[in-house]
Structure 1
Amino acid sequence: MNKEKVTKSIYIWVAAVSVLCITFLVMASYEFTKKPVQVSQNGQKEIIRTHANTVKELMSEMGITVHQHDELSHKLSDPIERGMDVNYIASKRIQLAIDRSNTEQYNTTASTVGEFFDEQGLEFQERDEVSHDLAAPIEQGMDIEVQKAFQVTLHDGGEKEKIWTTATTVGDLLKDQQVELSDLDQLNVSEEEIVKADTPIKITRIEKMTDTVEEDMEYAVETRRDESLPKGERKVLSSGENGLVTKKYEVILENGEEKSRELIEETVQKESRKEIIALGTKVEEEKAPVTVASASSDKKEARVVQASAKPSNKQDDTKTLQMHATAYTANCAGCSGVTATGIDLKENPDRKVVAVDPDVIPLGSRVWVEGYGTAIAGDTGGAIDGKRIDLFVPSKSQAHSYGRKQVTVKILD
């Protein structure tokens, strides 16, 4: 009985071992018949042993679905061969926006941004702005933005320059160009305005400065009638002396050029000293006629002799002069507004009065001045010497606009 059991156990073990051997041989035979293939998937390489007959079956066996834009080194229908090297790169979907208004989607197998641009035949300049470095790896769903540079004309303080920019707003452009504005500077467009190639940007540089100047303050001339001097004779009783006034102006400059000037302060540093002139009014009396009897005749004959009679210098023709003319007002620094002959110009702003050199045109004469009309020679001045004449006008603006002219002057009487 025991012998039978032992024999039976031996048969069972032999059968089991036989089955295992057969299974091993079958499996070994199955594995041995597989073909080794090197597959590179997105850069990762591995050796695959497969019974697949085609590349498509191999991809399916590896769980890879090949899409239209993917990159595969072989056709899906190609047969599998022992030692085959299969390369597969899956495409990635990305978005490219150029100038913020033109956005497109792409499927690419490029590994870097630079390779993607080469793949699409896109070229950009160094001055263009790209959101990613060219060496940056392509990632699924990546958003790439490119802002192409364009030229804008910038006028800064009168200087014109064409610059390349990718700025969106005027403020961004000024910041990129390191252009700073002061509180007084003026910009022709708002800093928030969108930069456009056909819209020049103009900056007017405004400067406010103070200019202090010193000016002579002309002395006034006072004429006093003197009955002890012969008529028309002049004698200086007290010499005049110019004063000194400091004037402070607020000056506005636009792009370096003076735009306006306003007097904000005036200080008299030294008062002028009036010149006092004595003007003779004494008239010489003419002697009475003397009757002289002739001794050469029995009959007395008398003849009249005029004593101390002076020949007349008066000419029938009007005296005409060519003179340098300027203009003045009654409100100049140190002026009283009363002329040398006593005319109050402030009370008579429309009066035609000229300042003259009495040695050339006697005070009190009526004169005609080209462009001014008929006037009275009623004033003098420290700077009026020789053939110079100063015309009275009501306002400083008229005096400034008159300037200096060469005029014809006729002495009427």
Structure 2
Amino acid sequence: MTKEEEDNNYSTIKSSKKKSIIISLATVLMFAAVMAFAIYEGTKNTVTMISTGEKEEVKTHSETVGSFLEEQGIKVGQDDYLSHTAEASIDKDIVIEWTEADQFTVTVDGESTSAWTTSNTVEDILAKANIEVTEHDKVTPALDAEVDSETAISVEKAYEVTILDGLEEKKIWSTSTTVADFLKQHKITLGDLDRVEKEMDELILPGSQVKVVRVEKVTDVVEDSVKFAKETKKDSTLLKGSEKVVQKGEDGLVEKTYEVVMENGEEVKRELKEEKVVKEAKKQVVAVGTKTVVASISRGADNKASAPAQKKEAAPAQKKAAATSKPAATSTKTTKTSAPAQSAPASSSREFYVSATAYTAFCNGCSGITATGINLKANPHLKVIAVDPSVIPLGSKVWVEGYGHAIAGDTGGAIKGNKIDLFMPDRSAALAFGRKQVKIKVLD
């Protein structure tokens, strides 16, 4: 072997040893690195991270929850949910739950507010927004409903409303709604005739009053008496001024059927629907005497009867004179007999005939107060006549044939000249009187 060959073999061996050393060194370094990595990874803690329902296991050397979240690039808001505090230590395997809060919009009586929360029930969202609700408030959706951040949540605060239902008054909580919805909500039903004193589409506002008028129609049957009429007939067999009942009057009976409208229990309208005669009235017939009695009285006879002794003692001359004298004139006297209550006075200032009618104060629209201030309704038994003051002065005492003593206490538009109007306490008697020619005497 030449020297050159030997040199080449030596170089080859030397190069081969160098490569072996490098390989061995690299192997040792790699093993050390693997061992170091294995040791490093082996000392990490396992963190189970649950976020928005997703679970992930993460190895970390972070010593606190806060540093771990920072390591993961997670920023926790003040309304977010975090199962541990940021200062909580990580010294072993740990489960960390984090939920990011959503923003919800709530409208209260038209005004909007926001709330950040991780809860999705309406009740929790309202609590987070510091909105108190009562059982009368209207909340949409319902308190137990689960919603998302896109759901509109509204609250209508309730207020007291006065409801007058017929005669019943009560306070009811209500939210802003129409009258029709208010009645439906509180189960207030209306009959065919009932009415509400508000428009049905009118809004119910705080302090409102809703009045429901309960209307009903009822039938009322009433029996009324009908006063009998009076008829007078002249009777020449009765003394003038006296009266005799020939036929006794009887009141009639009529049945009236009314339709009555009642509002809240009170009558507001009455309409006559039917009238039926149950019993006919029977008129009273009165005979009025017209007979006049005439009596003749001799004045001479009276003188003879009153002084017989004086005549016996008369002188002969006187007898002769009496015998030759003309007979004494005989006077006659007419006497009129009348009923005791209506008898004419013994003397009067003047008397004459008048046309007489009758009236009553008990009629629709009649005040009952005469021209001289007499209250005929309060004193129905007074005898009062209406006169023409230019013929018979007001306040005069009079006597009227067939009527009796009375006072001239009233006037009338149709009472002119020799006309009078007799007051009577009931309408039937006034109608039955009609129009008559009677004698009147003005006493003072």
- Tell me the TM-score range normalised by the shorter chain: 0.5 to 0.7
Cα distance in 1 for partners of 2:409, 2:272 equals 32
With structure 1 as the length reference, what TM-score do the two structures score? Answer: 0.66
Show the 5 A alignment for 1:200-215: 200-215=209-224
Deviations 1:173-208 (A, max 9, x none): 111222122232232211111101233212222222
- Deviation of 1:123 after TM superposition, in Å, equals 1.9
Cα distance in 1 for partners of 2:82, 2:425 equals 110
Cα distance in 1 for partners of 2:93, 2:348 equals 134
With structure 2 as the length reference, what TM-score do the two structures score? Answer: 0.62
One-letter identity of the residue aligned with 1:209: V
SS of the aligned residue for 1:327 comes to coil
Cα distance in 2 for partners of 1:18, 1:317 equals 173
Please tell me whether the aligned partners of residues 368 and 412 of structure 1 are also in contact (alpha carbons under 8 angstroms): no
Deviations 1:93-113 (A, max 9, x none): 2221212x1122322123533
SS of the aligned residue for 1:244 comes to strand
Give the counterpart of 1:377 among 407, 422, 425. Answer: 422
Show the 5 A alignment for 1:249-288: 249-287=258-296
SS of the aligned residue for 1:122 comes to coil
Please tell me whether the aligned partners of residues 259 and 271 of structure 2 are also in contact (alpha carbons under 8 angstroms): yes
- Deviation of 1:315 after TM superposition, in Å, equals 6.2
2:49 — aligned with what? 39
1:146 — aligned with what? 155
Show the 5 A alignment for 1:62-141: 66-67=76-77, 69-72=79-82, 82-99=92-109, 101-110=110-119, 112-141=121-150
Show the 5 A alignment for 1:338-377: 363=402, 368=407, 375-377=420-422
- Deviation of 1:65 after TM superposition, in Å, equals 6.0
One-letter identity of the residue aligned with 2:362: A
RMSD after superposition: 4.6
Residues 259 and 316 from structure 1, CA distance in 2 versus in 1: closer, same or farther, beyond 3 angstroms? Answer: farther
Gaps of 5+ in 1: 1-14, 319-324, 330-350, 354-359, 385-389, 393-410
Residues 142 and 51 from structure 1, CA distance in 2 versus in 1: closer, same or farther, beyond 3 angstroms? Answer: farther
Deviations 1:127-160 (A, max 9, x none): 2222244444453323222221101112222432
Please tell me whether the aligned partners of residues 107 and 113 of structure 2 are also in contact (alpha carbons under 8 angstroms): yes
Identity of matched residues, %:
32
One-letter identity of the residue aligned with 1:265: E
- Deviation of 1:263 after TM superposition, in Å, equals 1.6
Residues 77 and 159 from structure 1, CA distance in 2 versus in 1: closer, same or farther, beyond 3 angstroms? Answer: closer
Please tell me whether the aligned partners of residues 151 and 165 of structure 1 are also in contact (alpha carbons under 8 angstroms): yes
Gaps of 5+ in 2: 1-23, 305-310, 338-342, 350-359, 365-384, 388-398, 433-440
- Deviation of 1:116 after TM superposition, in Å, equals 3.0
Show the 5 A alignment for 1:119-268: 119-268=128-277
Please tell me whether the aligned partners of residues 364 and 378 of structure 1 are also in contact (alpha carbons under 8 angstroms): no
Residues 307 and 365 from structure 1, CA distance in 2 versus in 1: closer, same or farther, beyond 3 angstroms? Answer: closer
- Deviation of 1:369 after TM superposition, in Å, equals 7.3
Cα distance in 2 for partners of 1:32, 1:182 equals 86
One-letter identity of the residue aligned with 1:103: S
Task: Please say which structure displays the higher CA radius of gyration.
Answer: 2
Cα distance in 1 for partners of 2:346, 2:93 equals 137
Show the 5 A alignment for 1:48-59: 48-50=58-60, 58-59=68-69
Cα distance in 2 for partners of 1:157, 1:243 equals 41
One-letter identity of the residue aligned with 2:345: K
- Deviation of 1:245 after TM superposition, in Å, equals 1.0
Cα distance in 2 for partners of 1:60, 1:138 equals 31
One-letter identity of the residue aligned with 1:363: G
Residues 310 and 361 from structure 1, CA distance in 2 versus in 1: closer, same or farther, beyond 3 angstroms? Answer: closer
Please tell me whether the aligned partners of residues 115 and 125 of structure 2 are also in contact (alpha carbons under 8 angstroms): no
Residues 52 and 380 from structure 1, CA distance in 2 versus in 1: closer, same or farther, beyond 3 angstroms? Answer: closer
Residues 227 and 376 from structure 1, CA distance in 2 versus in 1: closer, same or farther, beyond 3 angstroms? Answer: farther
Cα distance in 2 for partners of 1:174, 1:60 equals 60
Cα distance in 2 for partners of 1:136, 1:35 equals 41
Please tell me whether the aligned partners of residues 363 and 427 of structure 2 are also in contact (alpha carbons under 8 angstroms): no
- Deviation of 1:169 after TM superposition, in Å, equals 1.0
1:327 — aligned with what? 362
SS of the aligned residue for 2:123 comes to helix
